[in-house]
Structure 1
Amino acid sequence: MREDVAAWFERRTTTASDWPVDLLATVKGPTTVSVVLPALNEEPTVGRIVEIVHRSFGAAAPEHRRLVDELVVIDGGSSDRTAEIAAAAGARVVQRAEILPEHTGSGGKGEAMWRSLAVTTGDIVVFVDADLQSFTPSYVTGLLGPLLTDDSVHLVKAVYERPLVEGATVVPAGGGRVTELVARPLLNLLWPELAGVVQPLAGEYAARRPLLESLPFPCGYGVEIALLVDTYERLGLDAIAQVDLGVRVHRHHEERFLGVMAAEIMRAATERLRRRGDLSLAADVSASLLQFDRGASGFSVTEHPVAGVEMPPMASVRAPSVHG
């Protein structure tokens, strides 16, 4: 490991156990915290996550443990009972389509996260994926710890082992396929200072609102690498920290979906190179991904759009107040 990366890793990597709730309650002071779950058809898991946050740190928690001031689920138009279950468990549920409808995007996780900034008010925003099967209260305390205790930290990424679970078969650390095959090689090649970030695509992270509102958000799955790179380029490596949260178990996707995800990540990375003038060919990057299936009469092709739309920094959006 490069010396500068190793030094950062040692300085900015902690574990969830380093951040007990009693410590955080003591140092929180007037800082407000919003927990946001972007969700689309996550009926099996969203209720448990919301209930844990609500009872551990939200309005249902003892006063001395109330770290979370807002708990919001951004529903992307679920066709199942995601919204109903999340509301019953203690979240405020807001439909993505009702937030800043005059600003059109291409849909996706990143767009839901961007819109969440318009309906939350916390000084710190914690993002949690709604498909987690392994969520514990330490996800919240771990992500908040560095931000509540060190003003120089602006973005905290989760670190965890991601096993690949297929029926009775468990492959340790086999779940981060796009991370290992796409994101990590990209960072090592193009932003080697970020090579010490263990989970660059982690869906669990926390950041200060002024930072989030100053950055563009890719609508799709490029949002994680975009926010990481943009934070580094704007504020430097020491503005980023990471916290080990143990093991993450979630719903896995088939390889075809992962291919689209990988394409969106590469497109977001390419856009960052183009903006700083390092890649003159960025304008010619394809906006679609071709995938193939073999049938009785040969191969057939499916063309998938690759999300390239980015929402502007929220701070640049001039709209009536949509908080509430």
Structure 2
Amino acid sequence: MLEEVERWLADRSWSAADRPLDQLLEAKRASGSTVSVVLPALDEEATVGAIVEKVRRDLIEGLPFPLVDELVVVDSGSSDRTAAVAAAAGARVVRRDEVLPRIPALPGKGEVLWRSLLVTGGDIVCFVDADLRDFSSAFVSGIVGPLLTEPDVQFVKAMYDRPWDGAAAAPGAVEQGGRVTELVARPLLNLHWPQLAGFVQPLGGEYAVRRSLLERLPFPVGYGVELGLLVDALHTVGLDALAQVDVGVRRHRHQDGRALGRMAAAIYRTAQLRLSRGHSPGHRWGYPLVRPELIQFERGPDGFVPHAYPVDTEERPPMAEIEEYALRRAA
């Protein structure tokens, strides 16, 4: 398996600098493809505006024609000024609960990404987290690039260094991935889906995918969405249709240990569901039948107090199976 991973790394891992912007614009013109950039956002007023402005300035305005055709922020119920800041910066803002209202929205990032397919039209959909600091537009152009220049590539993840709290890594050290990546996701992939072991940032929130693939995949509603999409893409289109691009350094807001524990549980459960698909007759994508809980502890006045948190296990079906989406695509 190591030989296959090494071959894939040589054939399907690039740097954002490998495809200059003028090359991408020419490839986009030749292919006729359109590109949608989606930022899922929840209480990100401090960072979302700068990301939107950077994408507009570098990839929409001042070019012979735009690399990005639409820039959408999907607000999943922010209590701050995320929506106002994003709109002022030039994004089209859509509220999660106004998309597909006949299906009540569930909390979770994956839910927002799933619904975004109904309010965007690009042939290529690029997801970018809204909490990034010191954002570079190479996060978009870098991962969109292979989808414009390599017809057989369908799914591209960003890879990057990830300094802790924005501090520079120690000399000679390269920080790859967060704690959940290294302690949960990477072991799961290496043990159960070793073909995916070459992905440097399997849980990264920056990736670009052809709509024709995305609409065929189920979406875990919560933190398991990145692992779920990656594994399902492997089984749907094969390893050589997947790729990754080095976009430099990613700085963002870090979460506390308990939040990471809940994230880890959701990711483990997402993997468990996929491993058990063959034992779930009638459930092609292994939809969960129960919603387990994770018990965590906080110290109170009288000692440690247990708190139960639901583990995100719900999954939305492939968007191609949703009537409203099919009608929209037909129109």
Residue by residue over 1:98-152, the C-alpha shift from the partner in whole angstroms, topping out at 9 and shown as x without a partner, is: 0001123422110000000000000000000000003111111100111001111
Q: Aligned-pair distance for 1:61? A: 3.0
Alignment match, 1:290:
295
Alignment match, 2:189:
187
CA distance 1:135–1:169, change in 2 (3 Å): closer
SS in 2 for 1:160: strand
Q: Aligned-pair distance for 1:230? A: 0.2
Q: Aligned-pair distance for 1:174? A: 7.1
Of residues 312, 319, 323, the one that matches 2:324 is 319
Unpaired segments ≥5 residues, structure 2? 281-286
Q: Aligned-pair distance for 1:96? A: 0.3
Contact 2:97 2:104 in 1 (8 A): no
Contact 2:44 2:130 in 1 (8 A): yes
CA–CA separation in structure 2 for the residues paired with 1:248 and 1:100: 33
Residue by residue over 1:56-90, the C-alpha shift from the partner in whole angstroms, topping out at 9 and shown as x without a partner, is: 112x33234x1001100000111111111111111
Alignment match, 1:202:
204
Alignment match, 2:95:
95
Alignment match, 1:240:
242
Alignment match, 2:146:
146
Q: How many residues are paired up?
A: 319
Residue by residue over 1:30-50, the C-alpha shift from the partner in whole angstroms, topping out at 9 and shown as x without a partner, is: 100000000011001000000
CA–CA separation in structure 2 for the residues paired with 1:123 and 1:283: 30
Which amino acid in 2 is paired with 1:69? D
Alignment match, 1:63:
64
CA distance 1:174–1:165, change in 2 (3 Å): farther
Unpaired segments ≥5 residues, structure 1? none
CA–CA separation in structure 1 for the residues paired with 2:44 and 2:157: 22
CA distance 1:78–1:101, change in 2 (3 Å): same
Contact 2:169 2:175 in 1 (8 A): no
Contact 2:96 2:105 in 1 (8 A): no
CA–CA separation in structure 1 for the residues paired with 2:79 and 2:304: 33
Alignment match, 1:18:
18
SS in 2 for 1:153: coil
Alignment match, 1:84:
84
SS in 1 for 2:141: helix
Alignment match, 1:115:
115
SS in 2 for 1:195: helix
CA distance 1:26–1:169, change in 2 (3 Å): closer
CA–CA separation in structure 1 for the residues paired with 2:82 and 2:328: 22
CA–CA separation in structure 2 for the residues paired with 1:48 and 1:322: 32
Q: Aligned-pair distance for 1:298? A: 2.8
Which amino acid in 1 is paired with 2:253? R
Residue by residue over 1:133-192, the C-alpha shift from the partner in whole angstroms, topping out at 9 and shown as x without a partner, is: 0311111110011100111111000001111118x7967627611000000000001101
CA–CA separation in structure 1 for the residues paired with 2:245 and 2:118: 27
Contact 1:106 1:307 in 2 (8 A): no
Alignment match, 1:37:
39
CA–CA separation in structure 2 for the residues paired with 1:283 and 1:158: 29
Alignment match, 1:214:
216
TM-score (norm 1): 0.93
Contact 2:14 2:246 in 1 (8 A): yes
Contact 1:105 1:219 in 2 (8 A): no
Say whether 1:307 aligns with 2:312.
yes
Contact 1:225 1:265 in 2 (8 A): yes
Q: Aligned-pair distance for 1:284? A: 8.5
Contact 1:221 1:261 in 2 (8 A): yes
SS in 2 for 1:294: strand
Contact 1:119 1:322 in 2 (8 A): no
- Identical counterparts, % of pairs: 57
Which amino acid in 2 is paired with 1:292? F
CA–CA separation in structure 1 for the residues paired with 2:220 and 2:261: 17
Q: Aligned-pair distance for 1:322? A: 6.8
Alignment match, 2:106:
106
Contact 1:38 1:74 in 2 (8 A): yes
Residue by residue over 1:255-288, the C-alpha shift from the partner in whole angstroms, topping out at 9 and shown as x without a partner, is: 000000001111111111121339xxx9798611
Alignment match, 1:158:
158
Which amino acid in 2 is paired with 1:75? D
Displacement over 4 Å in runs of 4+ = 168-172, 282-286, 320-323
